[in-house]
Amino acid sequence: MHAVYALPRLSLRFIPVWRRNFLVWTKLAAPSVLFNLADPTIYMLGLGYGLGAFLPEVGGVPYIAFLAAGTICFSTMNTATFEALYSAFSRMHVQRTWDAIINAPLALDDVVLAELVWAASKSVLSGLAILVVVYALGVVTSPLALATLLVVPLIGLCFGALGLAISALAPSYDFFSYYFTLVITPMAMLCGVFFPLEQLPQPLRIVAEILPLSHAVALVRPLTFGALPQEVLLHVAVLLAYGVAGFYAATVLFRRRLAS
Amino acid sequence: MELTPPGPPVQEGQDAVLRARGLRKRYGDLEVVAGVSFAIARGECFGLLGPNGAGKTTTLRLCLGLIAPDGGEIELLGEPVPPRARVARRAVGVVPQMDNLDPDFTVAENLLVYGRYFGLEDATIRTRLPELLDFAGLAGRASSRIQTLSGGMRRRLLLARALVNDPELVFMDEPTTGLDPQARHVIWDRLKQLLARGKTILLTTHFMEEAERLCDRIAIMDRGRFIAEGTPRELIARHVEPHVVEVHGDGLGEWSAVEGARLAARIERSGETAFSYAADAAPLVASLDRAAGLRYLHRPASLEDVFLKLTGRELRD
């Protein structure tokens, strides 16, 4: 029984599994990039220029500039979450790809790690795409914004890990609606993506401070303004803690699920 | 009926590619594998027969180290399982019961990607591709998408995929279930080729014909236990009479009760058919020739008779 609860064994054996997912992606890359890019860009432009026209300044900058950081974080979170939920679940449960892989000299831990790194990789691409758009539009100008690319993988790992834990629990795709309704949507609304956290009443603000996306935004937003973020260690530690806890839970839950 | 010659029985201490002792696995209140011991010698084809739910697939998963046993010991290619299962699987191929080919890939990509899981270089896999495709009867289909393949082709590709690492031992979980007779014969032919090359095969099946044709040794499994083990010939000789007369038609009940009971060593009734087992079928046949309205089929006893005698005729769902 204790073997189920052992710490995840990390090994470079995850690479061939990551490459498998990458090869699938190269076949579907065009529509995939479009989805990752179009959706958040439309949100950002619509809200930024449309709603932004009514607002003087938010957080001391034009609203669209304020939104840029939120959109990067939101989009990274979403991409990692979708990959860890629908795509990973499909590979595990529907296509039985994982069953095939663990008949080879790979362990389930290798597969879970590969899925995590893959979800994070895809989400980095998402964050990068938004960054290119905001640079191209001149919404963001500071070279310091490039440092966002150091934060984005951490956001991807964090939400990829949480998503995998949910996948491990899911009996079917329908289950994911709970996670979106109860976790992802509140996070998008409360964590400073669309407006500053300071606007929230105290109780909601406390909730927001606990959620990982607030800490992602707190790291990325100053960078897009060309400033260094405050309390970097705290924010990084919260994202890491969620990621590590999620990854451990996912590994244990997948071990239990696939060994029955 | 032609039977496969008996394979070498494994002696204690002899080079066994797979050895299991006292294997147990419980799910909730149900002991799915309830004390199973066996050894498979190099080059042998060992068949695990049993009704649905007998514990065959669980036994395979235990031997591969995918699940941990509640009791017993397993040694796969000299490595203790589960602790060293991952290492042992380097020289093992697996043909799963359920098709889990990668639907997004072509035939060749499926083999390439799977080979990488064994740590093989792309170049190494590519040099093996033509032979694997040829073996699977898929030469010229390297770039075909999986969706365009027939059921038989997909199963052959699964077999080729299991050989990408040139394994010593191949596990096959019901390799021909759901295939038409043509496709099944092709798979059987390929498995014989593998045996001729010295590979060892462990297969599960509920096709008796498959077991009789391919297996050197067979274990019949039911409710988590081995209830009989031996070569197909041995099992038939040990458990059933050599002749079977299947009788059906009008007046079956009366004939069975009187003539059948007198002339057959044993009669089993299943629906509208009476299976009459005898050391000498001549008196039965003579009696049936006189009985108007009854029809019969006289045939030698087969593994299926052994199987049904030992596991019963009721449905297992």
The whole-number pLDDT of residue B4 equals: 41
DSSP annotation string for chain A: -GGGGSPP---GGGHHHHHHHHHHHHHHHHHHHHHHHHHHHHHHHIIIIIGGGG-S-BTTB-HHHHHHHHHHHHHHHHHHHHIIIIIHHIIIIIS-HHHHHHHSS--HHHHHHHHHHHHHHHHHHHHHHHHHHHHHTTS---GGGGGHHHHHHHHHHHHHHHHHHHHHH-SSGGGHHHHIIIIIHHHHHHSSSSS-GGGS-HHHHHHHHHSHHHHHHHHHHHHHHT-PPSSHHHHHHHHHHHHHHHHHHHHHHHHHHHT-
Asked, for residue B1, whether it belongs to a domain, the answer is no
- Both B33 and B96 in one domain: the answer is yes
CA gyration radius for chain B? Answer: 22
What is the rounded distance in angstroms from the CA atom of residue B292 to the CA atom of residue A230?
Answer: 100
Mean per-residue pLDDT, A14-18? 98
pLDDT at B14: 61
CATH of the domain at B298: 3.30.70
Specify the DSSP element, H or E, that contains B142.
Answer: none
Q: Please answer whether residues A130 and A41 qualify as being in contact, where contact means their C-beta atoms are separated by less than 8 angstroms.
A: yes
Token reading at A135:
């640079």
Closest CA to B44 of B155, B153, B200, B178: B200
| pLDDT at res. A171 | 96
**Which residues 6+ apart lie within 8 Å of B288 measured at CB?**
B245, B247, B255, B259, B294, B296
Cβ contact, residue pair B100, A100, below 8 Å: yes
Report chain B residues whose CB lies below 8 A from the CB of A100.
96, 100-102, 114, 161
Average pLDDT, integer, range A8-23 = 96
Distance CA B155, CA A68 (A): 51
- With contact defined as beta carbons under 8 Å apart, do B212 and B55 qualify? no
- Tell me, yes or no, whether B281 and B228 share the same domain: no
- C-alpha angle B266-B268-B273 in degrees, rounded to nearest 5: 130
Distance CA A207, CA A185 (A): 13
- Whether residue A155 contacts residue A221, with contact meaning beta carbons closer than 8 Å, is answered with no
Q: What is the pLDDT along chain B (317 residues), one digit of tens a residue?
A: 444 444 445 555 567 999 999 999 999 999 999 999 999 999 999 999 998 889 999 999 999 999 999 999 999 999 999 999 999 999 999 999 999 999 999 999 999 999 999 999 999 999 999 999 999 999 999 999 999 999 999 999 999 999 999 999 999 999 998 889 998 999 999 999 999 999 999 999 988 889 999 999 999 999 999 999 999 999 999 999 999 999 998 888 889 888 888 999 999 888 889 999 999 999 999 999 998 889 999 999 999 899 888 988 777 76
> Last residue of a domain, which of B237, B258, B275?
B237
Any CB–CB contact under 8 A between B105 and chain A? yes
Counting the structural domains of chain B, the total is 2
Domain range for residue B271? 240-311
CA angle centred on B305, ends B9 and B247, rounded to 5°:
160
Please report which helix (H) or strand (E) contains residue B179, including its range.
none
Query: Which pLDDT score, from 0 to 100, does residue A248 have?
Result: 98
- Taking residues A56-74, report their average pLDDT: 91
Residue B294 sits in the same domain as residue B172: no
| Residue-level pLDDT at A65 | 92
Same domain, B199 and B304: no
Specify whether B71 is located in the same domain as B183: yes
The verdict on B222 and B276 lying in the same domain is no
pLDDT at B7: 44
A167-202 per-position pLDDT tens digit: 999 999 999 999 999 999 999 999 999 999 988 999
Q: Which residues of chain B neighbour A105 with C-beta distances below 8 Å?
A: 86-87, 89-90, 117-119
Residues of chain B with Cβ-Cβ distance to A103 below 8 Å are 64, 66, 89, 92, 94, 96
For residue A99, the model assigns a pLDDT of 96
CA A253 → CA A97, A188, A227, distances in Å? Answer: 18, 26, 41
Question: Residue A147 and residue A219: Cα distance in Å, rounded?
Answer: 10
Domain-located, residue B133: no
Distance of alpha carbon A68 from alpha carbon A59, whole angstroms: 12
Give me the mean pLDDT over the A99-123 stretch.
Answer: 97
Domain ranges of chain A: 10-258
**Residue B182, Cβ neighbours under 10 Å: how many?**
8
Rounded to whole angstroms, the Cα distance separating A28 from B168 reads 37
pLDDT, residue A15, reads: 98
B247, B276 Cβ separation under 8 angstroms: yes
Q: What is the pLDDT of residue A31?
A: 83
Q: Are residues B244 and B226 in the same domain?
A: no
Identify the three-state secondary structure at position B316.
Answer: coil
The two three-digit tokens of residue A128, written as one number: 């990068």
Query: Would you say B57 and B50 are in contact if contact means Cβ atoms under 8 Å apart?
Result: no
Q: Residue B245: beta bridge partners?
A: B276, B298
Predicted local distance difference test score (pLDDT) of residue B80: 97
Q: Is B121 part of a structural domain of the chain?
A: no
Average pLDDT value for residue range A84-99: 96
In a domain, B278, yes or no: yes
Per the domain annotation, does B176 fall within a domain? Answer: yes
Whether residue B177 sits in one domain with residue B84? yes
In this predicted structure, what is the pLDDT of residue B54? 92
Within a domain: B10 = no
Instruction: Please tell me the predicted confidence (pLDDT) of residue A2.
Output: 63
Please identify, among B221, B237, B253, the residue that sits at the C-terminal boundary of a domain: B237
Cβ proximity of B63 and B33 under 8 Å: no
SS3 B307: helix
B244 and B233 inside one domain: no
pLDDT of residue B10: 53
Yes or no, beta carbons of A103 and B64 under 8 Å apart: yes
Give the CATH number for residue B60: 3.40.50.300
Identify the residue whose tokens are 């629908």.
Answer: A86
Q: CA-to-CA distance for A15 and A31, rounded, in angstroms? A: 25
- Alpha-carbon B174 to chain mean position: 6
State residue B3's pLDDT score.
43
Structure tokens at B280: 């000498």
B103–A104 C-beta distance less than 8 A? no
Give the containing element (helix H, strand E) for B217.
strand B217-222
ipTM confidence: 0.92
Using CA coordinates, name the residue in chain A closest to B167: A104
Rg (CA), chain A: 19
Which tokens in the block code for residue B95? 């043909």
- Residues B287, B181: one domain? no
- What is the mean predicted confidence (pLDDT) over A22-42? 86
Interface contact B118-A105, CB threshold 8 A: yes
CA of B197 to nearest chain A CA: how many angstroms apart? 22
Q: Which of A23, A102, A106 sits opposite B113 (nearest CB)?
A: A23
Q: What is the mean pLDDT of chain A?
A: 93
* Preferred mutation among A4, A9, A19, A20 to probe B, highest tally of B CBs within 10 A: A20
Task: Give CA torsion, residues A143, A147, A149, A152, to 10 deg.
Answer: -130
Among A130-144, A198-212, B9-23, the minimum mean pLDDT is found in B9-23
Contact B44, B7 (CB under 8 A): yes
Is the domain of B249 the same as that of B229?
no
pLDDT tens by residue, A35-47: 778 888 888 888 8
What is the 3-class SS of B22-86, one letter each residue? EEEEEECCEEEEEEEEEEEECCCEEEEECCCCCCHHHHHHHHCCCCCCCEEEEEECCEEECCCHH
Quote the minimal CA–CA distance from A17 to chain B in Å: 7
Asked whether the beta carbons of residue A96 and residue B105 sit closer than 8 angstroms, the reply is no
Q: pTM of the entire structure?
A: 0.91
Q: Which of B237, B268, B285 is the last residue of a domain?
A: B237
Out of A71-80, A228-237, B74-83, B308-317, which region has the weakest mean confidence (pLDDT)? Answer: B308-317
B87 and B28 fall within a common domain: yes
